Structure 1
Amino acid sequence: MIAIVLFWLSLGIVGHAYVGYPVLMAMLARWRGRDPLCGDHVPAISVVLAVHDEETRVAARIRDVLAQDYPADQLEMLVVNDGSRDGTSRAARLDDPRVKVIDLDTNQGKAGALNRAVEVARGEILVFVDARQSFAPGALRALVAPFADPSVGGVSGELVIGSGQGNPGLYWRMEKRLRHDEARLGCLHGVSGAIHALRRELFVPMPAGTVLDDMWTPLQTLLGGHRVWMARDAIAVDQASSSLAEEFHRKLRTLAGNWQLVQRLPVLLNPVANPVFLAWFSHKFLRLVVPWALLVALVASACAPGPFYRFALGAQLLAYAGAALAWARPALARRVPLLPAAGMFLMLNSAALLSLPASLAWDGSRLWRKH
């Protein structure tokens, strides 16, 4: 009896995280969702780029931002060279008065670098970017347009990922749809680190070593009573990871950062004080619990009596075998419908399973990790 209860309870957790909650958000967004009041709003902005050992691509990234169709007298770009050991500082010093390079003598990590940039920023709106991506035309204007609505405190752009073995495919399309629905309901609590913006007065400095600046910032904005929007026409373009192994390590770091965030913002666990508790719990926290629920469901189906649970056990083992094949041989998996999605599901949940021990073993001395 206990095995049967655990089996269905575990399936309920998985079903809510990946099906029930997204469906609920889609329905509520259609019935009660609200878009912000956007306009031809071009406030003074400070584009912030924190870099460490990015000599080969920092100049191209700066030029990409400066090439945006945005009034030159309303844009400044702050490049924080976080204790680089190569020629990053020299490469970033372009002959353009809009660019200011801030050199940090020691490596403080991304959180410390962003904190330093905001201290000297002059723009009304802070725009945070990464070194790896590029912007589609009109991205900056689209990103700041929702700030015409005074209720909007932060805005996320949309990250478009190119082809490659590490492309999250179906998972990423579903994730972006879910974020858009959450934004329409006023409960979006995670933004794209490659392209997001914030009213400068709402910025809350991050503790040293904070991994998920792209969750710290929107959560602080929501806790302060403001809304976070997703501007889907503000596009940053990235290349997919070269392999699923690379994508695995990237996701492991991100998911470990979620455990760190719970430690640094315990208010998240309080359904009364956290204004987006249902969204955060269903979207983020349960994603950390799902792999454990999957393991419990597997063991419970092996222990439960009856032919149904024998069939459920066999179906699970077969599904995991197919997903493992897709993870190991992605080129072969692309020939079979839905098999790549199964491989991505297994990879993401393997990373989630290891995220707790990874967060406990976190090496704070390694402040930057590049993939």
Structure 2
Amino acid sequence: MLIFLILVAATAFGILVLGWVIYPSRTAKAANAGAGEIDTSAAGGSESPISVILATRESDEAILRRIDDLRRGDYPTALTEIVIALDATRSNGLDGLREKLPQRTRAVHGAVPGKSSALNAGVAAASHELLFFVDTAQSFEHDTISKLVSAVRTDGWGAMTATLAPTSGDVLMDRYWSRELAIRLGQARRHSIICVTGCAYVMHRRFWRDMPAGLICDDLWSTYSVVTNGGRVGIVTKARVTDPRRFTRDDEYARRLRTMTGMLQFARWFPAVLSRQKNPMWTDFLLHKLTRPATPVLLLVGGAAAWGAIALASPVTAWALLAAGVAIIALVWLLAQFAPGRLGQRAKGLVFAQRLLVMPLYAIARAVRSDWDVWKPHH
């Protein structure tokens, strides 16, 4: 029994080390060497007609501000059409919005509520071969569109995504996002990034596949559609996007819960993504994406096995370690609630990290129940 418990613990913790230490370190190392950068020297210029597709349910004022931001860029207006794809939940305002739109801009609405339906309608209404997808809240640097279009016209690339600047003001989340960027660059060197940045990416129309209703991760779908049809998906670090919004840690928690639920939905709806033969991104998907929802399960299994092995050898030591662990967790929570100043802030950061660690269990539970309504509140 002791040997069995040791093997279980070693396997669980070994998978965690592979997914959280070895894989990201090696992948980021390739990016730090510049290996993930896209060479656009053979693109032959960036001036191709594009259809910008803005899927949204925001107000007319927010939509018009986004159009102004897009028009202020250096990409020729004469080569740019903008398609506003309204969510079906606000399709009754379509006629009023159309009256406010500038030239080379049109508005349509999805057949059913949800972003996936709006995106399908937007693509159907688009005229050009290059499809450029944007969201409402962000803003571009003046040359973001030009850089992405130039890059996607390089041979072999089916889609390109921009870089969302980490400006949350939360040190923990900004560091996390910077690390994610390095990993994505390394993924692009091997084959493709796992997910485009949904607020700014361009793809060749021939790779587009209509999204099923109710799909949560449209960014993962877009990437998967490209790579399973012979293309690659890259990232352009100099094509930058800024999001002026500031999210609380509760907001970040809810966003990550939605994303992880969506990833599990994708794996359940499209099991071919788990096939090494059918998914060119299989290794990255397994180690970068699936390790995350598995983390609390692996910790529980590995921790229980390790504790059991220690208990067989020395019951007193095992119970002492368990009591110490519970005491440390309780102390951190108490400090987060009552400690002043920097100590309290650091404790709150640790509590937030604990919440993120447990969060995949909620996503797994929702996936088991087929609960894909990610916009209703969950605590």
Q: Give the TM interval when normalised to the shorter protein.
A: 0.7 to 0.9
1:230 — aligned with what?
235
Residue 279 of structure 1 deviates from its aligned partner by 0.8
Q: CA deviation at 1:234?
A: 1.3
Q: Which amino acid aligns with 1:292?
A: V
SS of 1:304's equivalent? Answer: helix
Distance 2:355 2:306 in 1: 22
1:118 and 1:140 map into 2 onto residues whose CA distance is 18
| 1:188 equivalent in structure 2 | 193
In structure 1, give the amino acid aligned to 2:273: L
* 1:279 correspondence with 2:279: no
Corresponding residue number in structure 2 for 1:37? 39
**Equivalents in 2 of 1:25, 1:125: separation in Å?**
30
Larger CA deviation: 216-225 vs 133-142? 133-142
What runs of 5+ residues in structure 1 fail to find an aligned partner?
none
2:137 paired with 1:135: no
Deviates more, 1:21-30 or 1:326-335: 326-335
Q: 1:146 to 1:311 in 2, by over 3 A?
A: farther
Indicate the residue corresponding to 1:179 in structure 2.
184
Deviations 1:157-209, CA, capped at 9 Å, x for gaps: 11123234596122111111101111122131211111111111110111111
Deviation at 1:140, TM superposition (A): 0.8
Q: Distance in 1 between matches of 2:365 and 2:10?
A: 27
TM-score of the two chains, using structure 1 as the length reference: 0.86
Q: Of the candidates 358, 363, 366, which is equivalent to residue 350 of structure 1?
A: 358
Separation in 2 of the partners of 1:134 and 1:330? 39
* SS of equivalent to 1:242: coil
SS at match of 1:346: helix
Q: Secondary structure at the match of 1:211?
A: coil
Question: Normalization by structure 2: what TM-score?
Answer: 0.85
| 1:347 shift after superposition | 3.2
Moved more, 270-279 or 56-65: 56-65
Q: How does 1:11-30 map to 2 (within 5 A)?
A: 11-27=13-29
Shift of 1:241: 4.9
Higher Cα Rg, which structure = 2
CA distance in 1 between counterparts of 2:252 and 2:176 reads 13
Q: How many residues align?
A: 368
1:66 Cα deviation from its structure 2 partner: 1.6
**RMSD (CA atoms):** 3.3
Q: Distance in 1 between matches of 2:341 and 2:93?
A: 40
The C-alpha deviation readout for 1:322-343, integer Å capped at 9, x for no partner, is 7757987999568877x67645
Q: Distance in 2 between matches of 1:311 and 1:275?
A: 47
Alpha-carbon distance between aligned partners in 1 of 2:184 and 2:70, rounded to the nearest angstrom: 25
Partner of 1:8: 10
Report whether the alignment pairs 1:218 with 2:223.
yes
3-state SS of 1:128 partner: strand
Pairwise CA distance, 1:83: 2.5
Q: 2: CA distance between counterparts of 1:187 and 1:315? A: 44
Instruction: Give the 5 Å matches for 1:164-313.
Output: 164=169, 168-239=173-244, 241-305=246-310, 306=313
* Percentage of pairs with the same residue: 26
Question: What are the ranges of 5 or more consecutive residues in structure 2 without an aligned counterpart?
Answer: none
Query: Structure 1 CA distance, aligned partners of 2:339 and 2:225?
Result: 39
